[in-house]
Amino acid sequence: MTTALRFLIVDDFSTMRRIVRNLLKESGFADADEAEDGVAALNKLRNGKFDFVVTDINMPNMNGFQLLSEIKKDDKLKHLPVLMVTAEARKEDIVAAAQGGAAGYIVKPFTKATLEEKVLLILKKMGL
């Protein structure tokens, strides 16, 4: 398993970004950056090097679905796995995430075990 992956955590709530960052660090993924919405995230993704995106769905300016769509349209970014995180377990959101090309979906609140399991499953599917 590779732990040298660079994560981008996207959430409009700074506490949630910190929680996700700490959970990833506890799981052995210490390299993470943060963005407060999809617009900021897209800018960072286009100007930096990232291996994995963990994004909230409900955010101002550009939500998680819009961000996912932009990532999948961009030839330089479309390979990135995107893990969607939301407070609502709405079936239509789960379907929309899957159809949009999201690598996975978790509902808040979640535990370190849930996040770690989902990230490792996605990495395994990608052959990393």
Question: In the predicted model, what is the mean pLDDT of residues 54-69?
Answer: 97
- Tell me the average pLDDT of the chain: 94
Instruction: Let me know if residue 69 belongs to a domain.
Output: yes
- Whichever domain contains 16, its CATH number is 3.40.50.2300
Instruction: Let me know if residue 1 belongs to a domain.
Output: no
Instruction: Let me know if residue 2 belongs to a domain.
Output: no
Domain count across the chain: 1
DSSP state of 8: E
Instruction: Let me know if residue 55 belongs to a domain.
Output: yes
pLDDT at residue 13 is higher than 60: yes
Residue 2 DSSP SS3: coil
pLDDT at residue 2 is higher than 60: no
Tell me the chain's radius of gyration from C-alpha atoms: 13
Q: Residue 3: its pLDDT value, please? A: 60
| Predicted structure pTM score | 0.95
Question: In the predicted model, what is the mean pLDDT of residues 83-100?
Answer: 91
Least confident segment among 2-6, 43-47, 85-89: 2-6
Enclosing domain of residue 70: 7-122
Q: How far apart are CA 56 and CA 64, in angstroms?
A: 6
Instruction: Let me know if residue 115 belongs to a domain.
Output: yes
Residue with tokens 């407070």: 87
Instruction: Let me know if residue 80 belongs to a domain.
Output: yes
The dihedral built from the CA positions of residue 102, 104, 109 and 112, taken in this order, carries a sign that is negative
Q: Residue 1: its pLDDT value, please? A: 45
Instruction: Let me know if residue 128 belongs to a domain.
Output: no
Alpha helical stretches, state H, the chain: 14-26, 38-47, 64-73, 91-99, 112-126
Q: Residue 23: its pLDDT value, please? A: 97
Q: How far apart are CA 89 and CA 121, in angstroms?
A: 20
Instruction: Please say whether the beta carbons of 29 and 7 come within 8 A.
Output: yes
